[in-house]
Structures are given as C-alpha cells and as structure tokens.
Amino acid sequence: MRGNGKAEPIWVAGCMSGTSLDGVDVAMVLTDGVEVFEFGDSHFRPYSEPEQALLRAELGWWSASKKLCEVIETAHAEALSTLKGFDLIGFHGQTLAHDPGHGRTCQAGDGAVLAEVFDVPVVWDFRSADVEMGGQGAPLAPFYHHALARLIGATSPVAFLNMGGVGNLTWVDPRVADPSETGALLAFDTGPANAPVNDLMRERRSMAYDADGALAASGTPDMAAVTQGLEHRYFYKMPPKSLDRNDFHDIINAVSTLTDADAVATLTAFAAACVARAMEHCPTPPSALYVTGGGRHNTTLMTMLAAGVDCPVLPVEAVGLDGDMLEAQAFAFLAMRVKRGLPTSCPATTGVRAAIGGGRVSKPGS
C-alpha cells in the first residue's frame, strides 16, 4: 500500500451532489483511507425549485457563474452544519460538464470556501488530475466499493451498481488487498439511469421522478427503441469509460411520441438493458449485484434489472449499507486517501495511465 505508513482513523464528512440534481447528501465516516471503521451521522439537504432551475440552466457550461457557485457552496455549508465532530471534508461539487475525451471536466464549487466556514481542511476537485493523465475522471467511488466489499466480508467477486442520474458499475475482487492492484477492480458507467426518466416526469407531469416505478409499471416498453438505443457507439467501447448526463439524446427522441406511461417504461427498460450489457464486461460473474442510489427504490427498475442479469440483485441495505448516503461516504473515504497520499483511481477504474491520487486540498487561512 502506498502512502505514508499507517494512519489513525479520523471522522471525515463527505458531500455529494449528483447528476439527479435533487440536493446535497452529507455523511460521516470513521476511516484511515484503507478501511472503514464506523459510519456516522448523515443528512440530505434538497435543492429548492429555483436552485434546481439555476443548476439546469448551467448544465453543459465549462465555467460556473458566481451565483451558481454561491448556491452550491451555501447548500453544502447548510448540509454540513447538521454534522458535528469531523476533522476533514471531502467536497465533490456539482458536475456541470464532463468531456474526458477532450481532457475536460467541470465541477462547480470552491472547497476553499468550506474550509473557511468549518475551519478544517477540504479536499475537492477530485476528477481533474485523473483527466489530465488520460483518465475518464469517473467513476470515483470504486476504491470505496472495494473497502465496502471487504467490510461486509465478501470472499468472492461482487458488484456494486449505482443507479443515480447515470448508472455506474464496479466489479470488486475483495481477495486483492490493494484496490489499485491489477485484478482488484473494474469500473465504468453503464449508461443513462434515472436522469432521462426524471427529466421526462418533470417536463410532462411536473413531478420530480417516477415514484416506486408506478408509471413505468403501467406502461409498455417500446423494445425496438431500447434495442436501437443499445446501438449507440458508447456500448461498443471497452471499459473503463464514462458518460456525461446528456450524452443520450437519441433515446429521448425515440420516446417523444409515446404516451407518458409507455415513454417512462421504455426509458426504465433502457436503463436496465444498459446494465445487462455492462455486466458482460465483468472479468468473472459476481456473486451478487448490490444496488445503490435512488434507482433501488424503483420497484419496476429493480424487477427489470433482476430479469436481465444472472446473479441476485439486492439493494445495498441487504448487507447493512446505506444506499442513499453511499456516494457521500465515498468522498469522505477518498478525502482521507488524498490526505494520506494514496491513489483514488487507477487504470481499471478510469483508464488513467497509472494509479493516481486526485483532489486539491484547501486549508483554513491559506
């Protein structure tokens, strides 16, 4: 294991504001950056409708407005203020645009602001160093997934599936002690997950999402549209690979003439089909697929996932984890790794040329 020897575990607060644009998750983890010893308090701070509107207006921008940065930083500060006793913060920021093929990624928000507010160091801008070294800059949770697989006592390969705005899959072999070693991990984005459904629900029904997959369950998927969607060039790329939230316009256009129920059913079926296609890349079949993120609350999606893969599909709560806060916890864990000089990504997770530690560190008063 690289880094500066052993370290005492500390309480770290992690923050995540994902592509679903629903709000800010914050969660505390007691960790040394290698193991997870305890989970602490957590909190969700939703974005208001005006805040969401501003976020949506600047999606795709390569430089955030001052107003948006203030909204993001204020929301994170309010969320973090509900937690007590942390000595370090991991701040993901809000992804506005992501184009690793051209060496660009943009996460809005300044960690230095939070360092001053809370008087503790803040690790932020986790993706840029990876992208600069030829990596995809995403997904970044896999090193945390590796620690979790060992925490739950897995003795054979398992997979974690995050169904947020975009889906991402991590295959983990917990028998390999160092996550940066060859054979420990494979990770990549599967395709669109909740984002197209959420966007359609908002546009057509003024609702944030399809609660429990009820509307999808009442509709009939257009499987021709699903099959056509799987012809997208992304699915012919070998992992590691990553996506931007808005990369799949064709599937959105394909459902434009369908009824609300059939359109949502089709987008839900497409998200599940993307995962089934992704599972074909696993080095060996995982013994279970543990689902995290908002998608695990969608009964219709979970049923479709189970029908498309050859292993048990379970919410991460089945092994004692918190699927609502796992991404925030991941950035707490990664912040501690950055503090210790340990890598946060490697060739098998982002395609970066060599294992690398991302993240800038802002200290109070600096």
**19 annotated binding-site participant:** yes
Q: What are the φ/ψ torsions at residue 183 (nearest 5 degrees)? A: 95, -10
Handedness of CA 149, 150, 156, 157 (dihedral sign): positive
d(C-alpha 227, C-alpha 157), whole Å: 29
Other beta carbons within 10 Å of 209: 21
d(C-alpha 289, C-alpha 282), whole Å: 11
d(C-alpha 354, C-alpha 360), whole Å: 18
d(C-alpha 202, C-alpha 20), whole Å: 12
Largest CA distance in the chain: 59
SS3 call for 319: helix
**25 annotated binding-site participant:** yes
Judge whether 64 and 97 are in contact, CB under 8 Å.
no
Other beta carbons within 10 Å of 260: 17
Distance from chain centroid for Cα 124: 15
**345 annotated binding-site participant:** no
| Rounded (10°) CA dihedral 191, 97, 13, 174 | 30
**14 annotated binding-site participant:** no
**148 annotated binding-site participant:** no
**256 annotated binding-site participant:** no
**20 annotated binding-site participant:** yes
Q: What are the φ/ψ torsions at residue 158 (nearest 5 degrees)? A: -130, 170
Q: Find all residues with CB under 8 Å of 279, minimum gap 6, and list them.
A: 159, 169, 289, 308, 309, 310
Q: What are the φ/ψ torsions at residue 120 (nearest 5 degrees)? A: -140, 160
Judge whether 352 and 134 are in contact, CB under 8 Å.
yes
Tell the burial category of 36 from Cβ atoms under 10 Å away from its Cβ (0-12, 13-18, 19+).
buried
**95 annotated binding-site participant:** no
Q: Write out the two tokens for 74.
A: 């204020």
Residues at the binding site for ATP are 18-25
Residues at the binding site are 18-25
